[in-house]
Structure 1
Amino acid sequence: MDELVLGVDGGGSKTRALVADASGKVLGSGAAESSNYQSVGFGPATDALRLAIDRALQAAGVASARPFAAACFGLAGVDRPGEGELFEQWIAAQGLARLAVVVNDAELVLAGGTPAGSGIALICGTGSIAYGRAPDGRTARAGGWGHLLGDEGSGYDIGVQALRLAARTADGRADAADLLHAVLAGWQLDHPSQLIGYCYRPEMTRAEIAGLARQVIALAEQGDVHARLILERAADELGRVVAAVMRQLT
């Protein structure tokens, strides 16, 4: 069997794995739930990684490629010294690859979008982060603080803003009836009183809240002023994140 390589993009909402041959031709892909260990924990994160990899191998028609010749894991939540070591140890214990690299998922975006290797990558998914590299090799980042400290402009942030405005509307403190209806419809709820129980149930995830961004975007495209304001605020915040990286690199 020819040697294969593995690429994994592990985000806050989903994990995707690609199996390719040495020329870079993609042979199979697989997906699973979030592998951001800061959100779901290390065990569930590695379970998602394993599932996505196994599905990619199955799609490629390969029973097993372990060890891969090389593997790159771009993982959300892994962006500070020492945070990737747990995953490096797990990869080694699994015998997944002879050569493995673990980086933040923003580095994948930068590598894919800037062939020269320099520029700024912005991720706006469940969370938000910007990562940049100057032509001289210097790197910088901004954002990526998680939902309690930051993630401004992210899908989760948009979802939370929509929920808060929906709650105020249900109280009569705001007038965003269309947004309230969109939120309820997105979660298949019949009445605003159901929002509390639904939002605070133990199995609620940040990815599910981030999914409300779809309703906000759809409503904004229809011209709803409240939805547009939420998205404009998110865009402003993302612009500030990118600008912060630019200042660090200039």
Structure 2
Amino acid sequence: MFFLGCDGGSSKTEFILVNEEGNILSHNIYPSYNYGVIGRNAFRQSMHQAILEVCNNAGVNTQEITHAVFGIPTLGELEEMDTTVPEIIGEVLPRERTTIVNDSVIGWSGSLSGQPGINVVSGTGSIAYGEDSYGNKARAGGWSVLFGDEGSCSWIGKKVLETFFKQSDGRMPRSAIYDIFKEHFKLTKKDIYFVGILCSGFQKKRSNIAMLQLLAEEACKRGDPNMKHVYEEAASELALLVKAVRSQLTFPQEKPVLVSYSGGLFKSGKLILDPFRKIIYEMNMKLVEPKYPPIIGALALEAGRYLQPNNYNYMLSQAYANIQKTK
């Protein structure tokens, strides 16, 4: 048996092809193939090329794939995508053995290993997705990096920009983030010259704004209270996503709802996890570490249809262990 998984995030597109023993036959990482950004033609060309390359590297014909799962950003949000993406992927893979979902679904599938509960994603954008034991599904967030995605790296990045602007022209007292920002962008003359960087195209690339979260993280290490407060705000926004999803689902009241997480923001560790855990606990929910990353979640979503429980769990654990060896 051969299982193909794809985590098509906003910053990168990751593929993995494994057999039923969890041996990795191919593992490739490509740039982001976000349909909403690159358009239909570029998505088709890039996705076809990647699928064929992954399978060819493993010596596996695309028609031999037992099941393929794709987690695609903005799926279910752009009407055109709901029709064209399955058509495009179905041109190279058997449609009846291919599952295509929003990337938030494989985040949930990996973090909670398919258990009832809620997973919140905070990377370039933010979204929460959950399922209960009755098969009900719900999501919240993920509206727009420009107007929404509260609590994400991009949202924090915008807070960094706002804080620097206000500290530069005297609307706020200066703190560590001011010097860190100037050092990062080499602003040795006038601060206002940063406008030139913005106009040069910096603001058009979502990842540029999201990467500013790292400056906030560094500022916190230097004791910046403003940036510490931003992480606390981010935790509140992410908890609000979780609360919204919980309100749409049915969970037993005798035990706390499981909540997990995925996405680049959580690499900042305690800065976001400590305030987030506190709020989740106050909501009578339980924050648990993610069991698997989204790419393993892609394998987990459908492989259980073909494998016995013990074999299924073994495959996932082996695939994850083998990925860890390559890091």
The structural deviation recorded for 1:49 is: 3.7
For residue 143 of structure 2, the aligned residue among 137, 142, 145 is: 145
Paired letter, 2:165: A
> Corresponding residue for 1:227?
227
Paired letter, 1:129: I
- Give the direction of change, closer, same or farther, for the CA distance of 1:36–1:187 in structure 2 (3 Å limit): farther
For residue 79 of structure 1, the aligned residue among 73, 76, 80 is: 76
- Cα distance in 1 between the residues matched to 2:44 and 2:209: 23
State whether residues 175 and 224 of structure 2, in contact with CA within 8 Å, keep that contact through their aligned partners in structure 1. Answer: no
Q: TM-score, normalised by structure 2?
A: 0.67
The structural deviation recorded for 1:13 is: 1.4
State whether residues 9 and 16 of structure 1, in contact with CA within 8 Å, keep that contact through their aligned partners in structure 2. Answer: yes
How is 1:80-159 mapped onto 2 (pairs within 5 angstroms)?
80=77, 82=79, 83-93=81-91, 95-97=92-94, 99-159=97-157
> Corresponding residue for 2:13?
15
- Give the direction of change, closer, same or farther, for the CA distance of 1:91–1:24 in structure 2 (3 Å limit): same
- Cα distance in 1 between the residues matched to 2:198 and 2:53: 31
Per-residue CA deviation, residues 161-184 of structure 1 (Å, 9 max, x unaligned), is 101111111212222342123234
Query: Sequence identity of aligned pairs in percent?
Result: 30
Equivalent position SS for 1:148: coil
> Corresponding residue for 1:205?
205
48-57 vs 230-239, which moves further? 48-57
5+ residue gaps, structure 2, are: 251-327
Paired letter, 2:134: D
For residue 28 of structure 1, the aligned residue among 26, 29, 36 is: 26
State whether residues 122 and 128 of structure 1, in contact with CA within 8 Å, keep that contact through their aligned partners in structure 2. Answer: yes
Aligned residues: 245
- Give the direction of change, closer, same or farther, for the CA distance of 1:108–1:231 in structure 2 (3 Å limit): same
The structural deviation recorded for 1:135 is: 0.6
The structural deviation recorded for 1:35 is: 2.2
- Cα distance in 1 between the residues matched to 2:183 and 2:248: 43
- Greater relative contact order (CA < 8 Å, ≥ 6 in sequence): 2
- Cα distance in 2 between the residues matched to 1:13 and 1:218: 21
The structural deviation recorded for 1:148 is: 3.2
- Give the direction of change, closer, same or farther, for the CA distance of 1:171–1:63 in structure 2 (3 Å limit): farther
- Give the direction of change, closer, same or farther, for the CA distance of 1:100–1:205 in structure 2 (3 Å limit): same
The structural deviation recorded for 1:38 is: 2.4
182-191 vs 73-82, which moves further? 182-191
- Give the direction of change, closer, same or farther, for the CA distance of 1:216–1:43 in structure 2 (3 Å limit): farther
State whether residues 26 and 58 of structure 2, in contact with CA within 8 Å, keep that contact through their aligned partners in structure 1. Answer: no
State whether residues 52 and 62 of structure 2, in contact with CA within 8 Å, keep that contact through their aligned partners in structure 1. Answer: no
> Corresponding residue for 1:66?
62
Q: TM-score, normalised by structure 1?
A: 0.86
Per-residue CA deviation, residues 105-145 of structure 1 (Å, 9 max, x unaligned), is 11101111223431101100100000010110111111010
The structural deviation recorded for 1:48 is: 4.8
Paired letter, 1:92: G
The structural deviation recorded for 1:52 is: 4.9
- Cα distance in 1 between the residues matched to 2:62 and 2:114: 31
The structural deviation recorded for 1:65 is: 3.6
Higher helix share: 2
Per-residue CA deviation, residues 150-201 of structure 1 (Å, 9 max, x unaligned), is 1000111000110111111121222234212323444455453332222233
For the pair 1:4 / 2:6, whether they are aligned, the reply is no
5+ residue gaps, structure 1, are: none
- Give the direction of change, closer, same or farther, for the CA distance of 1:186–1:62 in structure 2 (3 Å limit): farther
What root-mean-square deviation, in Å, do the aligned CA atoms of Structure 1 and Structure 2 show? Answer: 2.5
- Give the direction of change, closer, same or farther, for the CA distance of 1:153–1:43 in structure 2 (3 Å limit): farther
> Corresponding residue for 2:192?
193
Paired letter, 2:195: I
- Cα distance in 2 between the residues matched to 1:180 and 1:194: 15
